[in-house]
Amino acid sequence: MSAPETDFQEDRLTAYALDELSAEERADVERQLAGSAELQQELTELQSLVSDLRTELSAEAMPRLTEVQHRQIQTEVGVLTTVISEPVPLKTQNSTRRRSIRRWAILSAEIACGFAFVGAVTSFAWRGTLLSERMALDTASAKSGLGVPDNHPETYFANEASRVTGPRTADANFGTDNYTKNFMSEPEVFNVEAEVDQPDSVKQPGFIVRSSLHNTDVSDNLNRMDLQPNVEFNKELKSMASPDRVVASRKPKPHQVTEKARFNLVREQQFRYIPPESESRRSESADLQSGETYQATPENLFLTPAEQPLSTFSIDVDTASYANLRRFLTQGQLPPANAVRIEEMINAFTYDYPRPKEGEPFSVTADAAPCLWQRGHYLARIALQARTFDKSKRPPTNLVFLLDVSGSMQAANKLPLVKQAMTMLAEELNERDRIAIVTYAGDAGVKLASTPGHDQTRIMQAIEALQAGGSTNGAAGINLAYEEAIRHFNGEGENRVILCTDGDFNVGISDDDQLVKLITEQAKTKVFLSVFGFGMGNLKDAKLEKLADKGNGHYGYIDDMREARRVFNEELVGTLYTVAKDVKIQVEFNPLTVGAYRLIGYENRALAARDFNDDTKDAGEIGAGHTVTALYEIVPRGQWPKTPGVDPLKYTATKAPVPAPVAPPNNIPPEAADDLFTVKLRYKLPTADTSVKTVDYVVDDIAGKNIAPSTDAKWAAAVAAFGMHLKQSQFKGTWTLDDIYEAALSAKGADTNRRRQEFLDLIQSTKLLSSK
Amino acid sequence: MREPLVESSHVPNEVEERCPQTMDREFTEWFQGVVDQFEGPLVRYARRIIGDIERARDVVQETLLQLYRQDRTSLTGAIAPWLFRVCRNRALDVQRKEQLMSSATELDLQTLPGGTGPEEQLVQLETNDRLLGLLVLLTENQQEVIRLKFQNDLSYREIAEITGMTVSNVGVILHTGLKKLRSLMKDGNSVE
């Protein structure tokens, strides 16, 4: 402990550096500085530290308030004065954009239990009654925290909606009577769309009573949609909402909406967006269910070997897309194009691929056959089959379930299903395994500390006791889960966190980047993460996939008991155990034989050519027993480029020149001249950091050969064709749904797990839906 | 005094008797300016205390609205200390009530890449986040004062007003904090 005087000195030096001293004190310090080189040095270091601190600190993120909150403030302040009744949020705080822009006040008042509060509701509907009515609401601010003035009956009105698409036409009367009618008792709710114009004369703050529209958790901080309603207000209401059906509720529910989305009126209690004309900022699919998001990725185009000889991508064993689109179709809806990932559809089926050799994590098959949906084209196939092992021979496993227990998880196809899935899995555990349960977003915390697998009683009791709802503890969640996993890390076995959610991401880290960082870091320390989506209406598909990707796990979607059984029982080893990670494929096409090629699917798995050999670049992992199939459509050389011929001239004797095809390079070794393509693969063993390269697999040209696709190849082709159909791909070729069905039927094979039959049924459903 | 980074705006002098339904243009415009200017820093500040960004946002929203509803004659001088003080008090209330995880732990998680203890965190730090990472090893008071000073550019006096400490207290805490940072940077060990 240094002498007090010195401390005082130091203290003052700091204050001096920060300009906090009086003139007198300043002079004093300067005198001392003049006499001491040591002090000067001290000062310099201090100033440098301060400067660095300032730089780093000012770079820290400054999150703004949400759009909702801005509008609430504006309304309070009197800037926003119109009442709108359609679920489109205002874009900016700029008060000059008031006129003729669809927008909406996001407040809702709850008139129940004797108090009203203002919460954030982003969608609105009521039956038949008009939008433009005068309402008087009592608003009391106490509970809201939003500061609506006490004892202040506010009067609002809205102009006549310029366009209402409700089941009844809007009554254009401006009522002069105020009423405090609670609109929310109607059992059926619709969305309506309206344009409202600002009246010149009166400027009043606008509030509107909204009836609740079903669904969705909104506390997804990661989803930077424009509208992030205030969860806190409606927390207790979340548990009242069952996202799958409209609830007649007196309370408003938060709801997420994209900018400029318009709702369709739908009688069954789901609704979809109609994509806005303008592209959304984050290129997220506009074709959404309520709170669901899908990433829009343009499909792969044809490329020529001359320009792009190498095609590189990461494998993908996620099967979420298939389960998800199955969910849409069985509920009578066509899935949004962006929810369809063809590679995941193909990989959702089992195939008869050859077993891998001893010591190899997976086998590789590469071949080509005529393309069935486009005469003259080929379909190249690369197929991986991971080694599997019997459940009895699996490695010891340290599992932590991280469960979303927000109110919305109450629905039958969510937490109850999760519990059943967990039970199935837990039954398989033994004394070498450990299992823990951590919950978040509701009654959060460690619900089951890591327990040895044979203590079935305790485990089952904990699972049974799980409940959705309760208050949010923002801090618990993913960190707790990783802590539990690390505490009981098993060096000889598998360590995995399994996240089960319906989309709510309040896992305790609200910053996207931080979350990804955490997961990536943990994956490096061999605690992997798998993600399972349940239910609907709030699925953050792209986010979930990304997290699983970063966590060296896979992303699955569980829509029903059968899928749960498949994932957590029949294919348990695949779900839990990775046989190879960071698996990359690179294909080189021969310009002598290939005119153009197109990778079907894997759009969001593309890698740069140099990433293939770069071990620091992450790629997908393959679990035990999994298969991966990748398809390329190939246009043989000679048929590309597909320029239409020029018509012969009528009046001139000379012929128009036919464009010459691109001359191929002539430095190809003769023995490789009739290759079609070569496949290279790299992978890492689950605990390794450097990759292994497999041998090259060469596929010969099939021109002139009479080759028929194998059953598996044909099945994969049918699935791909179906996927392209759902995506309305420009490359789907000549096949109709009937053709797809025929091809699939002929390739059905033994179908012991009946999944292929289910696919055939889905085609039929789609036919019916498409013909509507 | 150097020019603060976060400009303290002053309440316009002429204000009318407040009535929520009157359009008080000048005040409102001023207020909107305040919102724009301060929402970011305030949310960032509140989040340090509470940990949860949504709650932090709520607190900031309430603070701003309270500013609007405040009797304007009572608001004199710079607005930043008032905002930070009110925000701080609300945030502490929320934190106490909800019994959230201690700010220290949450701060760890937010400033650093995944990892567990401080030792690992030290090792994992990238150079340009280094100071921020070391910051979490200081006491809560030290962190708060450092942030108020260097992130929000408030003076000792303002910080004292916001936190309820004395001015000299603020100076001492800041100095000790900086001293610790320096020694941490030098050899990774705590001097104290």
Residue ranges of the alpha helices (H) in A619-732? 711-726
> A120 and A16, same structural domain?
no
pLDDT digits (tens, 9 = 90+) for A22-44: 888 888 888 888 888 888 888 88
pLDDT of residue A180: 25
Does residue A465 lie in a domain region? yes
Residue A520, min C-alpha distance to chain B (Å): 8
Least confident of A365-374, A457-466, A723-732, B27-36: B27-36
Considering only the beta carbons, identify the residue of A19, A147, A519 that sits closest to B65. A147
pLDDT of residue A648: 56
pLDDT digits (tens, 9 = 90+) for A641-676: 665 555 655 666 554 444 445 555 567 777 778 888
pLDDT digits (tens, 9 = 90+) for B101-148: 444 444 444 443 433 444 434 444 444 567 888 888 888 889 999 999
Say yes or no to pLDDT of A742 above 90.
Answer: yes
What stretch of H or E contains B108?
A: helix B103-111
Last residue of a domain, one of A291, A308, A331: A291
**Which of the four CATH numbers 2.40.10, 1.20.120, 1.10.1740, 1.10.8 does domain B24-100 have?**
1.10.1740
Q: Which residues of A208-223 are buried (b: 16+ CB within 10 A; e: fewer)?
A: bbbbbbbbbbbbbbbb
> A44 and A79, same structural domain?
no
Q: Which residues of B106-126 are buried (b: 16+ CB within 10 A; e: fewer)?
A: bbbbbbbbbbeeeeebbeebe
> A531 and A420, same structural domain?
yes
Instruction: Decide which of B53 and A663 is more confident.
Output: B53
Question: Tokens in use for B85?
Answer: 């003080």
Does residue A95 lie in a domain region? yes
A663 interfacial to chain B (CB closer than 8 Å): no
Closest CA to A257 of A106, A89, A69: A89
A137 by Cβ neighbours in 10 Å (0-12 / 13-18 / 19+) ranks as: buried
> A202 and A73, same structural domain?
yes
Partners of B113 on chain A (C-beta within 8 Å) are 517-518, 520-521
pLDDT-above-90 percentage for chain A = 19
- Interface list for A 55-74 with B (CB within 8 A): 56-58, 60-66, 69-70, 72-73
Considering only the beta carbons, identify the residue of A10, A482, A486 that sits closest to B175. A10
Q: DSSP readout, B140-191? A: HHHHHHHHHHHTT---HHHHHHHH---HHHHHHHHHHHHHHHHHHHHHSS--
> A79 and A12, same structural domain?
no
Partners of A19 on chain B (C-beta within 8 Å) are 1-2
Q: CA of A32: how far to CAs of A25, A38, A193, A772, in Å?
A: 11, 10, 73, 89
A22 interfacial to chain B (CB closer than 8 Å): no
Least confident of A90-99, A283-292, A437-446, B71-80: A90-99
A280 interfacial to chain B (CB closer than 8 Å): no
> A30 and A151, same structural domain?
no
> What does DSSP say about strands A362-370 and A434-440: parallel, antiparallel, or unpaired?
unpaired
Say yes or no for a CB contact (<8 Å) between B105 and A475: yes
A193 by Cβ neighbours in 10 Å (0-12 / 13-18 / 19+) ranks as: buried
> A219 and A72, same structural domain?
yes
Question: Tokens in use for A583?
Answer: 């698996």
Flag whether the ipTM exceeds 0.85: no
Residue A357, min C-alpha distance to chain B (Å): 38
Count of CB pairs separated by less than 8 Å, A with B: 168
pLDDT digits (tens, 9 = 90+) for A189-225: 233 322 233 333 332 222 222 222 222 333 332 232 2
> A245 and A108, same structural domain?
yes
Closest CA to A111 of A92, A86, A88, A136: A136
> A111 and A146, same structural domain?
yes
- A485 near A448, Cβ under 8 Å? no
> A71 and A11, same structural domain?
no
Considering only the beta carbons, identify the residue of B35, B178, B185 that sits closest to A14. B178
Does residue A330 lie in a domain region? no
Say yes or no for a CB contact (<8 Å) between A62 and B57: no
Q: In whole angstroms, what is the distance from residue A149 CA to residue A207 CA? A: 13
| Nearest-Cα residue of chain A relative to residue B55 | A232
pLDDT of residue A334: 87
Range from A68-77, A129-138, A727-736 that averages highest in pLDDT: A727-736
> A110 and A198, same structural domain?
yes
pLDDT-above-90 percentage for chain B = 17
Say yes or no for a CB contact (<8 Å) between A479 and B51: no
A145 interfacial to chain B (CB closer than 8 Å): yes
Structural domain of A36: 4-57
Say yes or no to pLDDT of A90 above 60.
Answer: no
Say yes or no to pLDDT of B43 above 50.
Answer: yes
Least confident of A218-222, B59-63, B187-191: A218-222
Domain boundaries, chain B: 24-100
Say yes or no for a CB contact (<8 Å) between A76 and B65: yes
**Mutation for testing the B interface, residue in A7, A20, A150, A202 having most B CBs under 10 Å:** A20
The residue-averaged pLDDT of A531-560 equals 80
Say yes or no to pLDDT of A149 above 60.
Answer: no
Least confident of A241-255, A661-675, B32-46: A241-255
Tally of domains in chain A:
3
> A138 and A42, same structural domain?
no
pLDDT of residue A589: 92
Q: In whole angstroms, what is the distance from residue A152 CA to residue A138 CA? A: 7
- A170 near A85, Cβ under 8 Å? no
> To which residue do tokens 């294909």 refer?
A587
The residue-averaged pLDDT of A685-696 equals 86
Partners of A57 on chain B (C-beta within 8 Å) are 132, 146-147, 150-151
Say yes or no to pLDDT of A393 above 90.
Answer: no
Q: How is residue A447 annotated by DSSP? A: E
To the question of pTM greater than 0.90 for the whole model, the response is: no
Say yes or no to pLDDT of A51 above 50.
Answer: yes
pLDDT of residue A138: 28
Least confident of A93-102, A278-287, A381-390, A624-633: A278-287
pLDDT-above-70 percentage for chain A = 65
